[in-house]
Chain A
Amino acid sequence: MKGRRDQIVQAVALAQSAGAASGLEAEIIRFAGALRQLGLPIGSGELLDAAAALLAVDLLDRAQVKLALSATLAKDERAREIILQAFDLYFVTPEERDRRAAQQAADEAQYHEMLEQAQVQLRFQGESLDLSNQQKETYALLSEAQQRRLQDFLAQSSGGQGVDSSFTPLIESIVRGHLERWRRQPPPQRAGEDAAAHGATRGEGDDSLGQDPMLYVDMKEIGPAELAKVKVLIRRLAKRLATRIMRRYRISRRRERVDFRRTIRANLRYGGTPVHLQFKSRRVLKPRIVLLCDVSGSMALYTAFIMQFTHGLTKVVRDVDAFLFAEDLEHVTPRLRQEQDLQQMMADLVGKSAIWGKGTNLATALDHMMTRHRATLTSDALLLVVSDTKTIGVQEAANLLGEVRRRVRGVVWLNTVPRREWPSLPGVSAFGRHATMYECNTLADLERVLQEAITV
């Protein structure tokens, strides 16, 4: 998201240097090349339109040319935004173009210097740390106070008692973790750098929603300050998902069949001639969702979001039955019904998990579900398990899950661990046999997964 302007600058520079042909057509084609580079679907049809449009406007009026190109080449709001930005960068006077090339070279030099500096400043016991360029860049963009804090930490730990070079990997991973964290949550002072450009790229996602950076933040890293925003977002996502799924149902209703009994009855007044046909359609079966959420330690935050989200789907889901588990099972549907505040709910969940936080035992949870809550496992229910698969008694739990699987419509597993780490988890393959497993740690993932799961 934050790099979009940079991407545009790069694509424009690349296109400008391509080919020597001059003239209006060549320029438009090169400009379109830059836009294609940015992922916009621009075919020759659009190019022809653009050329025709340019003939219809005043070519000497920059604003008109810009609007003509955006009207013919853009097909949605996002594309229009990109084209307007790219236009300003692409169509410049030759002097400006040269100046910019020089500027770019200077920027590059400065960037390398910045990385060098990070390399020098981040030392542990006199040795430079092994960091990626991206991490160094993150460091260089931090405020001075934050940089100093990192340096102090390194200096202090370097001098610690009994600390030797074998600690380097540990220290490295701590530093890396923090840099990664900052990278995903750009501190406000970075936003101020290039206010105009940044404002244009940032605010634009407001209504289209798909662009909101918050969608792509790992849910466990969403801070309390952002809860209000996330709450609005979740509600909007749920609404969008609900309307989208509703459409699907309607469309399937198009396979209508004539209901003879009702047709004859309705047309008795025409002497049995079928003037008004009566149709029957399949009853739309809304699925029930049974949520089974892990609340051990760091899982609690995911659980809160997912429960809220699912609850927002009441339009398309008949009902949601929610359970929490760690060492044992707890039925929390009544709490969901109270429309509790998200913040309050998270506090509660985190509080609870602190009491239980001894370990995760899915086997016990599933066993209790089968014995005490058997009624909820019906053939139209979809069991959503939210867990990182780290549990004791994996094999036993997997067998029980298989048994549960036979009673319900489907089992979908939302795994909050990134997919690349799955091979190292024994639970993934064991549970994967009985459940469809998805990676799910951002709100965007969650929306996508739920859509697939519910419409299946």
Chain B
Amino acid sequence: MEMDLGWLRQSFADDGYICGMDVLLPVYLSLRLGKPLLVEGAPGVGKTEIAKVLARVLDTELIRLQCYEGLDENKALYEWNYQRQLLRIQLTQAAGTKDAEILESDLFSEEYLLMRPLLRAIRSPGRPVLLIDEVDKVDEAFEAFLFELLSDFQISIPELGTIQAGEIPVVVLTSNSERDLSDGLKRRCIYLYIDFPTVERELEIIRVKAPEVPALLAQELARAMRFLRTELELRKKPSIAETLDWARALAALERDRLNERLCADTASLFLKNRDDIQALRREISNHGLTRMLSRGDETAPASSRRSPAAEPARYDVPPVGEPEPK
């Protein structure tokens, strides 16, 4: 299928994934150049969703490899079904056959092969989307193995020979940047960083994903979110997933405007930490909702700016010649 940027944009929009050119273009390039896409960003901004949308848009299978500490090749690539092989041996023995050679080639045939996500992606007939989720959680050895696989898309199984991918899968890797990935892996990828959305875009997302939310409320929510992410010192900034949770919850409560009481009572929907909730309560008791709902700078991406008001007050510099405070 020949695709171009316009088609991709339209398909993403049709699928309800609202994003700007800054997200679309790297995705497009990774499809065009046949390179893996490495997606980074805060939790909940829609990294995993990209792979899911891609699978739907390209109308192919989504194969997911969820990474965790201690993930090894057996779990990711393939494994022999040992129990079944053992049973087979015992059955053969019981039947009294003695032909050892036949037995061995039988035992290591595909029948006894347990395919794990990576092998499945390689052997899949179409061009599947392979999602390698939270790749920063695996250890370095596995990462090295992974980027070897991603560069030539073939693996050797000693008993079966080399298996080559028919069509190179679309690979999406996501990372929460818990640690730095190795240069080798990064080098093979197209890099995409998903930022928190602007107020306008967040508004659009709410409109598409939670159409039941009244327009005025949606606007207030988007502004409040921008404020929470940029102005408050939070341990965990709420992201789009939390916005949607909050919006749906308020819609379920049949509210159409935000007020102080409501905001404080529903804080646990988007702040998942006692300190953060207290910070919000303090803000509400000091300033009400005025600062939260102020228009702010709506066009700026939320995480890349901080207004001077949020700067901590500086020392008042003591006059020269006086002793400095110890």
Contacts and interface: CB of A to CB of B under 8 A. Distances in A.
A67 B190 CA distance: 11
B1 to A, nearest CB: 15
A46 B187 contact: yes
Where chain A touches its partner, the secondary structure class is helix
A398 to B, nearest CB: 28
Interface string A173-215: 0110010011001011001100100011011101110000000
Interface stretch (A73-81, A307-315, A368-376): A73-81
B312 A226 contact: yes
Nearest to A177: B324
A146 B318 CA distance: 10
B305 interface: yes
A56 B186 contact: no
Interface in A249-271: 250-251, 254, 270
Q: Number of contact residues on B: which range applies?
A: 35 or more
A150 B233 contact: no
Given A53-B29, A251-B139, A202 B306 contact: yes
A208 B177 contact: yes
B321 A153 contact: yes
A49 to B, nearest CB: 7
A185 B190 contact: no
A119 interface: no
B82 interface: yes
B320 A76 contact: no
Contacts of A300: 326
A185 B314 contact: yes
Interface string B123-151: 00000000000000001100000000000
B320 A178 contact: yes
B305 A200 contact: yes
A225 B313 contact: yes
Given A67-B26, A188-B308, A206-B303, A49 B82 contact: no
B33 A185 contact: no
A52 interface: yes
B80 interface: no
Contacts of A195: 308
B183 interface: yes
Contact of A49 (B5, B33, B177, B315): B33
Interface of A: 41, 43, 45-46, 49, 52-53, 56-58, 63-64, 67-68, 70-72, 74-77, 80-81, 146, 149-150, 153, 157, 174-175, 178, 181-182, 185, 187-188, 191-192, 195, 199-200, 202-204, 206-208, 223, 225-226, 228-229, 232, 235-236, 243-244, 247, 250-251, 254, 270, 273, 275, 297-298, 300, 350
Interface of B: 5, 21-22, 25-26, 28-29, 32-33, 35, 38, 40, 42, 69-70, 82-83, 86, 139-140, 177-180, 183, 186-187, 189-193, 230, 233, 235, 237, 303-306, 308, 311-315, 317, 319-321, 326
5 contacts: A45-B187, A80-B193, A182-B317, A275-B82, A275-B86
